Structure 1
Amino acid sequence: MMETAPLFDVIARGPEGGAAYWLKTEDGYRIRMGHWPAPSDARGTVFLLCGRTEYIEKYGPAAVEFAARGYGMLAIDWRGQGLADRVLPKDPMKGHVGGILDYQLDLKAVIAAAKELGLPEPFHFVGHSMGGAIGLRHIMTPGHVFASAAFSAPMWGIKAPAPLHPFRILLAQLFGDSFMAESFAPGMTDETYVYRSSFNENRLTRDPAMWSWLISQAAAEPALTIGGATIHWVAESLLECEALSALPSPDLPCYCALGGEEKIVHTPAVHDRMARWPNAAFDVMPGSEHEIMMEVPATRTKFYDRCAEMFDAAGGRDAGVRAESA
């Protein structure tokens, strides 16, 4: 039996019936999985693979949207964030990971838990930012469980200052495992992002209601938050993006959305990947920032509709038959 974990329903704003569980990875980390059920005639389950700094409760509204379209949803606190074990216990606000492929062990544990719970299949995923890199790596592995893949501003490249960008891989190799590895990357602090940016300057959303909600979540449950990334995390991520870029796109239905005002991930890497993904759909959302699912209502609705259309088609269901509330 999986052990029940806390789920902060009040701040999550998810569908009724949500639950969270502690999972143990094969290398001994305790991570948290949250699940919100689908309607009785479920079309499948969506795995929400969130980005760095994020946590399960941030995606309660996404679960509402997917439930309205016939899908259950689960979300993950990756190791080092949310309520999962922190990788640097003495510096719990640092965003750190031992190796970027360690996240695959977290995803492996979640897939096993989803099967143990008997969650409705087929399985699909939405990978946001860092979760987009984790998800892409997974579906490049033979025997994966997913029928289709959707991405929101995927971290397939990391934006570096223009003068340093040509040297980013060399710098990652030089400093990633140096004596500085566990130090914050330049410009990073232990303060969570929504506290160190204003709405007018933030790079996540142009929706003031969503921005206020994110601040209220951090204030209500500060244990969910983390600060900036370490030099080692950045180095590992740069090297993983470089490794992924050399591989062909998997033979899997794919939808990807990118904000027209994206300032966090390296957008040429996203355009390059989507140009090499046969029969994939790609939207650039005009005026949108990094977090498509936290954007203004029209943008969010378009994203969820496009995801559900692909999930329906990949699952062999009639995309025209949806919950009336969708």
Structure 2
Amino acid sequence: MELLHHASYSFTSEQLLAQSYSQSIEPYWQQYAEPGSFKGVNQLNIHYLKLPAATPTNKLIVLSPGRTEGYLKYAELAYDLAQQHYDVLIIDHRGQGLSDRETARQQPGDVANFQYYVDDLAELINRHLAAHNYQDKYLLAHSMGGAIVARYLEQQPADFNAVALSAPMFGINLGAVPKPIAAGLSRTIHQLEQRFKRGPYYAPGQKDYRPSSFAANHLTHSQARYQQMLAVYQRHPQIQLGGPTNRWLTESFNAMQQCINNAHKITRPLLLLQAEQDQIVTAEGQRGFFQALNSSSAAASQFSIITGAKHEIMFERDAIRNLALSKVLDFFAQHTNEG
């Protein structure tokens, strides 16, 4: 398989993605991937996967995916990171991927309490770090996963060298609807659902999983990676997820504000990658979060706008993805315990 070189790194090539999957990525996963599960909050089964580095290593990246995502979607990224000599640990957040849903309904994107995401992640991290003596440990998170990691770092004594957030969810793009109206509506409907013991139901306008055409997608400019993304959900219908519920929106609006209000508690060096053409989450929320970091953390942190990127930076065209991924790996390399 041909790898695309960028500075000191080698990444899979968009042009040869199908070939890379069949000849390198999938065989590597089949041979080395270590799936597992544990009991999270309220005894839900939380699934995860560890992909060991290509050579034995003392470096770990914990990956926290975004809403609707599971570790199966991250095969290419995990493979690329493993080739750069990192063990990769990916969680399937509750209510998505292969993890248990909060209710009997499979499709609605739902969580009973945003804090449960944080507690599940902490449990996985504690279990894994107790069993492995890593010298260098990093967090990499996307979108909703970024909000989860932010809350984790605000609450836990962070045993990580550094953290990178890709298009983190500190504000949701609501179009022309003002945030107070959207938040108030979701909260009111959720309260009615609780009162009448119904639901949780989809938020207004939301529905079951239905893939968009590439031309209509808001995630990436890379047709090859978008088609691969869709193929994963087609092959594994159990991970398909629809829109969010009123309860998820209520919990998330509260959590995003808490992320910003408590950003000063974060002590780790942080890299925030903002997607210039993001239509899913807001630049305003990301700026607000970064500006709220304490002076010590901010001095060691970086804010980088990824020009031309849509929301899924790590699934973008090669020129965009390689630049962003190189920034992440460079940032991690600056914060090492080696030597």
Q: Same fold (TM over 0.5)?
A: yes
Q: Which of 290, 315, 323 is the equivalent residue of 1:294?
A: 315
SS of the residue corresponding to residue 154 of structure 1 reads: coil
Q: Which amino acid aligns with 2:129?
A: K
Distance 1:84 1:163, change over 3 A: closer
Q: Which moved more, 1:172-181 or 1:264-273?
A: 172-181
Q: Which of 236, 257, 274 is the equivalent residue of 2:251?
A: 236
Distance 1:30 1:142, change over 3 A: closer
Report deviation, 1:127: 1.2
Q: Which of 212, 219, 224 is the equivalent residue of 1:209?
A: 224
Structure having the larger proportion of residues in helix: 2
Cα deviation 1:77-100 (Å, max 9, x = unaligned): 1111111111111x1111111111
Q: Distance in 2 between matches of 1:248 and 1:18?
A: 34
Cα deviation 1:152-184 (Å, max 9, x = unaligned): 110111122324324344334323332276111
1:1-326 matches, within 5 Å, as 13=26, 16-89=31-104, 91-118=105-132, 120-179=134-193, 182-192=200-210, 195=211, 197-249=212-264, 250-277=266-293, 278-279=298-299, 280-317=301-338
SS of the residue corresponding to residue 146 of structure 1 reads: coil
SS of the residue corresponding to residue 20 of structure 1 reads: strand
* TM-score, length basis structure 1: 0.87
Paired position in structure 2 for 1:323: none
Distance 1:44 1:177, change over 3 A: farther
Give the share of equivalent positions with the same residue, in percent: 26
SS of the residue corresponding to residue 262 of structure 2 reads: coil
Q: Distance in 1 between matches of 2:47 and 2:157?
A: 24
Q: Which amino acid aligns with 2:148?
A: I
Distance 1:31 1:112, change over 3 A: same
Q: Which moved more, 1:98-107 or 1:176-185?
A: 176-185
The unaligned stretches of length 5 or more in structure 2 are 1-20
Root-mean-square deviation (Å): 2.2
Report deviation, 1:140: 0.7
Distance 1:169 1:26, change over 3 A: closer
SS of the residue corresponding to residue 256 of structure 1 reads: strand
Report deviation, 1:191: 1.8
Contact 1:49 1:132 in 2 (8 A): yes
Contact 1:12 1:58 in 2 (8 A): no
Q: Distance in 2 between matches of 1:157 and 1:181?
A: 25
Contact 1:96 1:229 in 2 (8 A): yes
SS of the residue corresponding to residue 140 of structure 1 reads: helix
> Which runs of at least 4 in structure 1 moved beyond 4 Å after TM superposition?
9-12
Q: Distance in 2 between matches of 1:19 and 1:41?
A: 15
